[in-house]
């Protein structure tokens, strides 16, 4: 039997190294997501989850391999992105992820099936949880989180991922090696997030600016007026009330704090401003969080 030797081209991509192995793998149907047996939130836990997939391929148990691969995806109704990156950036990342899911699942299947055929089983796993101890762009991925959640990276050869590319004309496709992205531990198992999804994050967390209500008035799209509290009317309480509002990059209220005025009147005003909605604010084209002081005057006639 004559074997055709492919022409190999070595490419270097940052942060990945690239080697070439030409070939194509058959596509299979996507299985429904099954419940994960709890694995440890540790490098060893991810190693075990990857090894189980490769061993299933080696045993020619494609049904089991496909189930395990499907479990590497975020559940359809997952709130991980908004929980970790907030309602602004998290929502856009979640939309991009859901759109990419079919291709991501097929890519994981194709790459790990090739790795199993190459005899690979044990991956080296790196855990990143300190933005000061890592290089770009991982530091950015961590810094943009509301609270840091560890990112994991798996590599079969060395400590950094390598990808194997098919160089057939018109078909530049990854055919083996390591996945280009990161794993996070969520709901009892590891989930894979492609690098290109996380690259949509900004270079740093959005800054917050303090603006006057005269500026923000034009951005106020929903305004609810306060009701005069019965207790305040009976006691003939009146006067100015000032509440400091903290808005996220989408113009939604994150926090309201009474900074001036009677507490009874203040509670009434707080109930009203919690329903206010603003248009997003941008600084030099970038979305920013806003701090603004809203005030009103209660008068008894």
Tell me the two tokens of residue 14.
């940052």
Per domain, the residue ranges of the chain are 17-198, 208-298
State how far the Cα of 13 lies from the Cα of 203, in Å rounded to an integer. 20
pLDDT digits (tens, 9 = 90+) for 88-119: 788 889 999 999 999 999 999 999 999 999 99
Residue 12 in 3-state DSSP?
A: strand
Dihedral, CA of residue 148, residue 160, residue 47 and residue 65, to nearest 10 = 110
pLDDT digits (tens, 9 = 90+) for 128-140: 999 999 999 999 9
State how far the Cα of 67 lies from the Cα of 46, in Å rounded to an integer. 16
Q: Indicate the helix (H) or strand (E) that contains 97.
A: helix 80-117
pLDDT digits (tens, 9 = 90+) for 222-245: 999 999 999 999 999 999 999 999
Residue 152 pLDDT exceeds 70: yes
When comparing pLDDT for 9 and 61, which is higher? 61
Percent of the chain scoring above 70 in pLDDT? 82
Q: Would you state the pLDDT for residue 167?
A: 67
Residue 84 in 3-state DSSP?
A: helix
Tokens 């790990």, residue?
A: 112
Query: What CATH number belongs to 208-298?
Result: 3.30.2420.10
Among 176-180, 271-275, 276-280, the least confident range? 176-180
Tell me the two tokens of residue 24.
């194509």
pLDDT (average), residues 2-25 = 37
Q: Indicate the helix (H) or strand (E) that contains 107.
A: helix 80-117
């Amino acid at each position: 039997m004559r074997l055709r030797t492919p022409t190999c081209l070595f490419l270097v991509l940052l942060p990945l190294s690239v080697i070439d192995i030409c070939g194509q793998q058959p596509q299979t149907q996507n299985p429904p997501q099954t419940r994960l047996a709890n694995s440890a939130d540790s490098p060893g836990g991810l190693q075990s989850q990857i090894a189980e997939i490769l061993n299933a391929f080696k045993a020619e148990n494609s049904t089991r391999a496909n189930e395990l691969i499907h479990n590497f995806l975020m559940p359809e109704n997952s709130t991980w992105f908004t929980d970790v990156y907030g309602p602004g950036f998290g929502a856009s990342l979640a939309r991009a992820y859901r759109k990419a899911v079919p291709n991501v699942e097929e890519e994981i299947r194709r790459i790990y099936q090739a790795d199993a055929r190459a005899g690979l089983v044990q991956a080296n796993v790196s855990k990143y949880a300190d933005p000061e101890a890592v290089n770009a762009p991982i530091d950015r991925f961590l810094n943009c989180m509301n609270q840091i959640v560890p990112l994991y990276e798996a590599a079969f050869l060395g400590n950094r991922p390598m990808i194997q590319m098919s160089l057939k004309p018109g078909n530049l496709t990854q055919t083996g090696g390591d996945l280009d992205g990161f794993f996070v531990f969520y709901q009892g198992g590891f989930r894979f997030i492609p690098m290109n999804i996380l690259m949509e994050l900004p270079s740093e967390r959005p800054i917050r600016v303090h603006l006057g209500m005269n500026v923000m008035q034009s951005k106020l799209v929903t305004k609810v007026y306060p009701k005069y509290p019965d207790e305040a009317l009976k006691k003939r309480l009146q006067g100015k009330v000032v509440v400091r509002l903290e808005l996220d990059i989408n113009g939604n209220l994150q926090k309201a704090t009474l900074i001036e005025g009677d507490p009874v009147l203040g509670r009434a005003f707080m109930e009203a401003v919690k329903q206010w909605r603003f248009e997003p604010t941008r600084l030099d084209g970038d979305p920013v969080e806003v701090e603004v002081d809203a005030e009103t005057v209660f008068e008894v006639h």
